[in-house]
Amino acid sequence: MVYKNCRTSSGEKVDIETKNGKITTIASNIQADDAQDMHGAYIVPKLVDCNVRLKDGVLNATNIKKVANEAKKGGVGTIVLQSDSTPRIDNEIVLEFAQNSTKDIKDVDIQIAINALLDDLSLANIAILLKKGGIAPVMSTFAKNNIAMKVAEYVKMYKTTLFVKAEDNSLVSQGVMFEGDVSSKLGLAGIPELSEVVHVSRMIEIARYYGIAIGFQSIASPRSLDMIQKAKNEGVDVRAEVSLHHLLFSDEACEDFNTTVKLDPPLVEESMRKKLVQKLKNGEIDTLTLLHRPSSPVNKEVAFFDAAYGSSALAEGYGLYYTKLVKSGIIDFETLIELTVENPLRQLAKKAPRLEVGESIEKFLALDVEASYKIENSNSLYNGEEIFGKITELQ
């Protein structure tokens, strides 16, 4: 098969020849009888998202297949299922069940994160769970210092990355959105920025002391990014993930008690959102996530205080990233690939695919950025919007 009139993420125009699923030639004007005209579509690697949850947080085979289908539709080739599901992935039995539920799924690489903490915030058997195939431990900073330090020792021993959700138990449990003018206006309990910032600082020092790698999940505070960047400059192996939603929406979207935008972490005020965008442009964000966390209507169509956290985005992945970040001029295509493919895979100790001879073509897809479609998903922050980027699978 020869794919003609393609573009790379840098914009270079090429033809690509494949045989038995492998790229055999990348050149200009390849002649072949079985050529397929791609009409200028970009040939790009499939996305990676390290922060994915199942519908209503319920871990079962049906929900795993559903999230795999959504990922494939959105051009996401690798996902990391988070461990704070029901049941929690904090023991061998649940981990094995989750792994068995992914065995028949071929189009999407589903990795399973393990919970470093048990439900009572004591230490899970991290060593066994990693040996059994868990991709990496995830820890909420609900953990006390002595437990967090033990987790760090295991991470150092197994030379893996510790994914951290920076949050304060006493502050998060009291609020349902960001603490600010909008929360006051709506009469809703707020979660202060300090809930995240304090624990980012704490975990940076643990990373520094033990010499381990930490990936901070879904950072929402620009102040947290300042501290992470400073630590990186000092040689500490810490990385920051930010969700697409926090770059595009502020807490003003919660007005009229819109439960669709009730997220965890909560959307921050507009001035902070603008700073997040600037830090993206400055290269101070390492990875992006769609923060996929879909909910049934019964859990969303209730009062804001009682509504479930999260929204759906995985099925529109490439289209959203391209339309909102590249087409809008915030970042270029190569930077998008770095943030959504290369850096996430590096955190998982996996090699990013390269568009070169010998590589599997199935790791890539064609993205037609001239084609658009309308999102029709009531559980999406972008419901009703037109986005650009039609996906075609390659073989």
Q: Which domains does the chain have, with CATH numbers?
A: 51-352 (3.20.20.140)
242-271: string of b/e by CB count within 10 Å (b at 16+)? bbbbbbbbbbbbbeeeebbbbbbbbbbbbe
Query: How long, in residues, is the chain?
Result: 395
Q: Which two tokens stand for residue 131?
A: 């040996």
Question: Are 105 and 127 spatial neighbours (Cβ–Cβ below 8 Å)?
Answer: no
Among 82, 85, 78, 89, smallest CA distance to 49 is for 78
- Please name which of 295, 379, 280 lies closest in space to residue 328, comparing C-alpha atoms: 280
| One-character DSSP codes across 243-270 | EHHHHH--GGGGGGG-GGG--SSPP--H
Angle, alpha carbons 225-337-363 (nearest 5°): 135
| 81, 54 Cβ separation under 8 angstroms | yes
Encode pLDDT of 11-26 as tens digits.
999 999 999 999 999 9
How does DSSP assign 27-71, residue by residue? Answer: ESS---TTEEE-TT-EEEEPEEEEEE--GGGB-SHHHHHHHHHHH
- Whether 207 and 164 have beta carbons less than 8 Å apart is answered as no
The CA distance from 176 to 182, in Å, is: 12
Strands (E), the chain: 2-7, 13-19, 22-27, 35-37, 42-45, 47-52, 76-81, 109-112, 114-115, 137-140, 161-165, 177-178, 190-191, 213-216, 238-243, 287-289, 364-374, 386-393
> What distances in angstroms separate CA 118 from CA 123, 126, 215, one per listed residue?
6, 10, 20
3-state helix, strand, coil in the chain (%, to 5): 35, 25, 40
Per-residue pLDDT band at 87 (split at 50, 70, 90): very high
Question: Residue 178's beta-bridge partner residues?
Answer: 191
- 135 falls in which pLDDT band (50, 70, 90)? very high
Res 51 pLDDT > 90: yes
Confidence of residue 55 (pLDDT cuts 50, 70, 90): very high
* Model pLDDT, residue 34: 83
Arithmetic mean of pLDDT over the chain = 97
**Bridge pairing between strands 13-19 and 2-7:** antiparallel
**Least-confidence region, from 29-38, 115-124, 226-235, 358-367:** 29-38
DSSP 5: E
CB atoms within 10 A of CB 180: 21
What radius of gyration do the chain's Cα atoms show?
Answer: 21
* pLDDT tens by residue, 247-301: 999 999 999 999 999 999 999 999 999 999 999 999 999 999 999 999 999 999 9
Average pLDDT over residues 325-345: 98
The residue assigned the tokens 């009469």 is: 187
The DSSP H or E segment spanning 383 is none
* Chain center to CA of 245: 11
Q: What is the pTM of this model?
A: 0.97
